[in-house]
Each structure stands twice: as structure tokens, then as C-alpha cells.
A and B are shown apart, each in its own frame.
Chain A
Amino acid sequence: MSEKKKGNPKSNKSTGLPRKRFYRARAHSNPLSDSHFPVPIAPSQVDYSLHYPHFFPSDETCNENCNSTINPEASILKPHSKKIQFADIGCGFGGLLISLSTLFPETLMIGMEIRDKVTEYVKERILALREANPGQYQNVSVVRTNSMKYIPNFFEKAQLSKMFFLFPDPHFKEKNHRRRVISPHLLDEYAYTLEVGGIIYTITDVEELGEWMKDCLEGHPLFEAIPEKELDSDPVVKLLSSATEEGQKVARNGGQTYLAVYRRIAISGTENGE
């Protein structure tokens, strides 16, 4: 651990956690611009051993069994025994992921963030937490990507059970509404990656956006609202505003939040005929 501290001057000396001020980034990123980061060609190409070495120690075990010159693709291509089930889209500084990690220690989850510095911070944060708490936080990871474009490259059909869209960019201008991460057309893709019964969580402190997200979800034939009662008993709902950095900021300022939580439902036979 001391080595680690020397290796990373951006970390806090006592906790080993990265310090935010070294990871300053613009608050927004254009989701329409062409991307310049690697994107997996298909979900089967996502290297789980990179993200979750504790659950997928592929390299070491393989080195013992096979020769040291293993085909790296072979290890990637074999089907994953365990799949990512939670995705935090636009995870920001990763507050929710960290809280979810201990709440669902056996569930693999990933944060997707488009700003590279912020992603870098979350990466360091997870590594530091793993080191400080042996055995914990092995189920969380983060990736830099444009989730509006590349979700199908990461997840198979019906792979996810929870998706989070917390405090997304509001994009007030009507011209920019197509940049919103919740939109009628993108919901088709989210419905594809969510299993039937899977839950989509959205929250914002912008009333206009809150209404928009609710309208989009309400109008979509593959999502239905979750009754208030059920939400009260869902431990995750409380985390939406309390665990995220953005949520804490809103709470500090005494702001209001607008929540929309919907369940992915199966296609009903009558839906098409209606």
C-alpha cells in the first residue's frame, strides 16, 4: 500500500483515495461527437478479467494450464460465467456504484462515463478501495464510453437487471433535446438490454427534465411505472439521492429531486394491435 501511495501522487496520503481536485473536468461532454476511444466490437469481446480480476482471474489460471503464450482472444471469447447486471449510465464520480457494491456484493456492476478524467478518477477510487478493504469492491468497475451510442456493444439482449440514469445533462434547448440520454428512441435500446422485470432508475433536480423523462417512460410500451409502495421498500431508491455526489449537492442546496422508476415489461400481444 505504501508503494501505491508513492506511485500515485494524486491520492490522499492517509486513505489512499484519489483526490478530486486532480481530476477536474468539464461538466459536459458532447454525446454527438465522434468518439476516439476503443469500443468493444461485441459484448463477447468485453474483457471481464480486466474489470473484475477477482471474479475472472483468467490470465493466471490460464498460464498454469496452458502455455504462457496463450491467445489473448481465446480467453476473452469464452462465454462469461457471470455477467454484468447493473449499469450506471453517466456514473460521474462513482458514488452510487461504491454504495451498491457493498449492498450487492455478488452482482457485477459497471459505471459508464464519457469524460475521461472522471473515468480515471473512478478507476483510481475503486482500486484504492479494493486495496483498503480486501475482498470488497471487486464487483464494481468503470469504463469510458459514449453509452448513448455503444450500449449494444457492451451488453447482450436482456442482460441487465438495473440501469441508472442519475442527474443527467438537462439540455434545455429544444434543438438539443436529442442529446438527452433518456429519449423515446434510446429507450428502445435500453429495453433491449434490460431483462423483463428489470428496473430503470432516473432522477434529476431539473423539473423540466424530470417531466420529460417521465413522459418518455410513460409513453413507451415496454415500460410500466412502479407503484409508490414498492419504491419505498426498494433500498436502492434511497441511494439515488443520498449516495451520488450530485444528489448530495442538491441536498446541501436544499433542492428538490424528481424521480422516475420504471419496470421493463414483456411485449403484450395486444400492444401491436391497439
Chain B
Amino acid sequence: MEETLIEEGGDVNREIEVAPALISVHPLEKSVAVAIGSQLRVYDLQGDCNVNLVDDSGGNLHSGSIRAICYGSKGRLFSSAGDDKLVKIWSTDSWHCTRTVCSEKRVSAVAISPDGLFVSYADKFGVVWVVALDGTSSEANDKAAPLFAHYCSIITSLEFAPDGRFIVSADRDFKIRVTVFPNKPISGAHEIQSFCLGHTEFVSCMAFVSTPEYPQGFLLSGSGDSTVRLWDVTSGSLLDTCEVAAEAGLLESNEKEDMFSPAVTDICASPDGSVVAVAIQRQVPQHFLLPLCVITNKVVSMGEIFIPTSLGLSSSPEHLWMITGASNLPALDDPSFARVRVISGLLKESPDSGQDDPILLEDSKIPGGERLLEKLQGSVSIVKEEQTLAAAAEAVKTAMCNLLIKRQYSSEKRELRKRSRNDRKQKQ
């Protein structure tokens, strides 16, 4: 019975691939970008208006689900990539697409180097590619060069160190690899600085924080083992571990839930590390403040049904932007659904003064107001919000599982699959 269940589940997943909605905020909060399915929606907070994306790189717009978006190089550049195997690079002052790179495989993660000269992306084979952006967009330059690879493990997150020395990649095999980013990356990055090993489940997300005393930065990583860990990337040593479930008080409240300790699905941090926000799969976001590695936290529960699929934070972390939603939702009128929410009051004047807890802003109070919501969500108010959210929550859960967790088969199931293999035995 179990076997048939697995089989059915697998088939359904293959037919409709639900893609979680993504959000990213300009480092100076000049704009907010949302990706839902193949749509990229951007709202200009500075000018308080919608942004019309213009693609003059000659390529098509995204035709498949967007899986990764990011701002880079102090917000000058923006990149989006996904299942249509296109990596698009946008200039954020005009929102023109300046470059479209074709990948051989679907793209799972993308990052822009701090100096804005290179864009790096990871594909479904675990290979990380690099594209040079040095203005001269000649034909030969349009192709990406392989940089390095994880052995056949899907890379979930790709980040550059703040000083640009390292490129860090995390995968579903609980590995974090720190690679020296060479001067001439087109010929590959061969020197591995370290591996950050300690997670016992897939690593889903990473973020760098740096302090004036330590400008090269510390790495934060979130994982399916329900921890957030702090690393020194130069040596690969684990500095601190935060059991998110315990911090959020989830474990005591609900003993049954123990077995499903919540997975950390996204993390974002202000560059100075004063605010670190974490989204977890079961209940949701909490954010905690991190002064000098001593983690104190504040949990903001969003209730059972708002499960952020992605988080965004600017460098002066006034607002924490959250989105939940997915494309290709089966049982809904509007197949792509997104809901944006904002938490404010994350920064306190002094740690002791603090009664002003973070608050979840009303729709009318968020920067950009309803016009922003109309752009980013597709509509201001969502009819039957409760039901829609609940349905979306389920779909999002499976979508995230498909993204992050490897398929598991029981041993009987494995035997069965082996027996029905059709590739054996042409004798040579």
C-alpha cells in the first residue's frame, strides 16, 4: 500500500510542478522583486510606482518557473533564473535586461559577485557556472564557463563572501563548500578553502554577516535538521548552533510535532548581523537578533497557515518582507497565488529599552501600500483568504519538499524498482 502511495505521489508531482514564490528586497529598499511561476514582478518603492520590465537582450521572457532571484553589487544588478534554463541579468536603475544566458540544465541558484563583474549560477547537475559581465557582450562572452561542481547533488544556495574572496555553495547532501573565487574564474575555481560540515539534513539557505572587527564575514546556514549554524568559512569550523525549534518554543507546545522538527527554509540577515530572520516550515517566521554570536531571539508567529516561502531584508533592516505562494496551484481559480506581508520594528534603539516588539503591518501600512500589493500579489485583496492560504500552504509544503528533500524509497520499493529495470543486460 505504501508503495502505491509513493508511486502516485511521484506521478502527481511530475505532472504539475509547483514553484514556491520568491521575494527579494533592494539593499537600500529602493525596490522589491517577487517571482511567482514564470512571472517577475517589481515594485519601485522610491518612485512609488510599478516597474515595467524591458528585455532588450534579445531573449524571451521567462517561460518556466523562476527558482532563484537576487540583487547584487549594492543593488545595481538583479538576476533571475529557473526552470526555463535562462539566466537573466537586469540593471536595476532602468530595469532593462542587459543579458540573457542560456544554461544547459535547469537553474537552482544564482549569485552576483560583490564587485558586479560576475554572475554565477548552479544547475540541476550540481555544476556551478560563471558569466563575466565586463561590458563587452560579444558572442563568445555570452557563454557561461563551468566553475566547479558538487557531485550530482542539487545546489540549494549560492553566496559570495562579502569581500568577494570566496564563493560558497550548499547542497541537498548537507554539504557547504567554500571555494576560493579566482581572479580569472573563466578557467574554473580549483582551490577549495574548506567544507562546512555539521548539518545532518539538506542545507536550504545561507546568508553572510560581517562585523567591523571581522570584515571577511561569518556564514549563517539553515537546514532541514531544524538548526541554524554559524561558520567561519576560512577554516570551515562551526562556531555556533541554534536549535530553531527550541528557540521558537515549538517543541514544548506540541509534543507530537517533535517527530517533524521544522525545517529551516529561508534565512536572511542584515549585513551587520543585527537582524537575522529565519523562516521555518511548520509554523513560521521568527527572527532573532544576533549581537556577537550570542543569539537572542524574538518569535513572530504567523499562525498556522501563513508559511513564508521566501524572506527579504534590506541593509538597514527596518522591514522584513515575507511572501507565501506558489504557481500552478491545482485546486484554485487563480493558479498562481501570492501573499506579501511585512514585519516592522525589528531594530531597537538599545537592547534593554525593548518593549517595542516587531509587529506585523496591516496591508495599508506597508511601504507602497495597496498599489504595491496589487502589483506583487496580482490583486489587493484575496477572496476567501483563509481557504486559499490553507490550500496554498499544502501545495507550498510539497513544493518545498520536492525542492529540498531527496526522494525516499522503502527497501521493498527499491527492490521492486530494481527488478523492473529495463536497462539490463545487453551482454557485451
List A residues at the B interface (Cβ < 8 Å).
31-32, 34, 36, 41-43, 148-149, 152-153, 157, 178, 184-189, 191-192, 220-222, 267, 272-274
The reply on B390 being an interface residue by CB < 8 A is no
What CA separation (Å) do A166 and B195 show in the bound complex? 26
Nearest A residue to B147 by beta-carbon distance? A185
Residues of A within 8 Å of B182, CB to CB, are: 272
**Chain B residue nearest in CB terms to A45:** B197
**Is A221 a contact partner of B198 (Cβ separation < 8 A)?**
no
A32, B154: Cα distance in complex, Å? 12
User: B183 and A273: CB pair below 8 A?
Assistant: yes
Q: Is the interface of A mostly helix, strand, loop or mixed?
A: helix
A273 touches B173 (CB 8 A): no
The closest CB in chain A to the CB of B173 belongs to A149
- Contact A274 to B184, CB < 8 A, known contacts A148-B151, A149-B151, A188-B190: yes
Asked if B183 and A157 make an inter-chain contact with CB atoms under 8 angstroms apart, the answer reads no
Shortest Cβ distance from residue B201 to the other chain A in the assembled complex, whole angstroms: 11
Q: Please, could you name 21 A-B residue pairs with CB atoms under 8 Å apart, sorted by A?
A: A34-B407, A36-B411, A41-B198, A41-B199, A41-B200, A148-B152, A152-B195, A157-B194, A157-B236, A178-B125, A184-B188, A186-B151, A188-B148, A188-B179, A188-B190, A188-B191, A220-B190, A221-B190, A272-B183, A273-B184, A274-B184
Q: Which of A34, A36, A153 contacts B197 (CB 8 A)?
A: A153
Is B146's CB under 8 angstroms from A185's CB? Answer: yes
A109 to B115, CA, bound (A): 44
**A157 CB contacts on chain B under 8 angstroms:** 192, 194, 236
**Most chain B beta-carbon contacts within 10 A, residue among A41, A220, A272, A274:** A272
B184 close to A272 (CB less than 8 A): yes
Residues in B neighbouring A191, C-beta threshold 8 A: 190-192
Which residues in A have their C-beta under 8 angstroms from that of B174?
41
Is there contact, CB below 8 Å, between B406 and A34? yes
Q: Which partner residue on chain B sits nearest A43 by CB separation?
A: B197
Cβ–Cβ contact B192 & A188, under 8 A:
yes
**Complex CA distance for A189 and B195, rounded to whole angstroms:** 10
Within B125-154, which residues are at the interface with A (CB < 8 Å)? 125, 127, 146, 148-149, 151-153
With A153-B197, A178-B125, A185-B127 known as contacts, the answer to whether A222 contacts B190 (CB < 8 A) is yes
How far, in angstroms, from A88 to B137 measured CA to CA in the complex? 46
Residues on B lying within 8 angstroms of A by beta carbon are 125, 127, 146, 148-149, 151-153, 173-175, 177, 179, 182-184, 187-192, 194-195, 197-200, 236, 406-407, 411
The residue from A152, A272, A274 contacting B175, defined by CB atoms under 8 A apart? A152
Q: Which of B152, B187, B188 contacts A178 (CB 8 A)?
A: B152
Q: Which residue of A lies closest to B196 (CB)?
A: A42
CA distance A31 to B153 in the complex (A): 12
B125→A192 contact, CB < 8 A = no
Most buried by B among A178, A188, A191, A273: A188
Cβ contact within 8 Å between A32 and B190 = no
Distance of A43 Cα from B198 Cα, bound (Å) = 10
Question: Closest residue of chain B to A186, judged by CB?
Answer: B151
Q: How far is the CA of A222 from the CA of B148 in the complex (A)?
A: 14
Q: Please, how many angstroms separate the alpha-carbon atoms of A148 and B150 in the complex?
A: 10
What chain B residues lie within 8 Å of A273 (beta carbons)?
Answer: 183-184
Alpha-carbon separation in the docked complex, A252 to B321 (Å): 69
CA distance A272 to B187 in the complex (A): 9
Q: Which residues on A sit within 8 Å (CB–CB) of B177?
A: 152
Whole-angstrom CA separation of A21 from B184 in the bound complex: 53
CA distance A264 to B406 in the complex (A): 35
Closest chain A CB from B152 CB (angstroms): 5
A212 to B387, CA, bound (A): 58
CB distance from A24 to the nearest CB of B (A): 16
A138 to chain B, nearest CB (A): 28
Taking the nearest CB of chain A, how far is it from the CB of B303, in angstroms? 35
5 extra A-B contacts, CB within 8 A, seeds A185-B148, A188-B179, A272-B183: A153-B197, A186-B151, A189-B151, A191-B190, A267-B191
Tell me, rounded to whole Å, the shortest Cβ–Cβ distance linking A245 to chain B.
Answer: 21
Least Cβ distance of A112 to chain B in Å?
Answer: 14
B197 touches A185 (CB 8 A): no
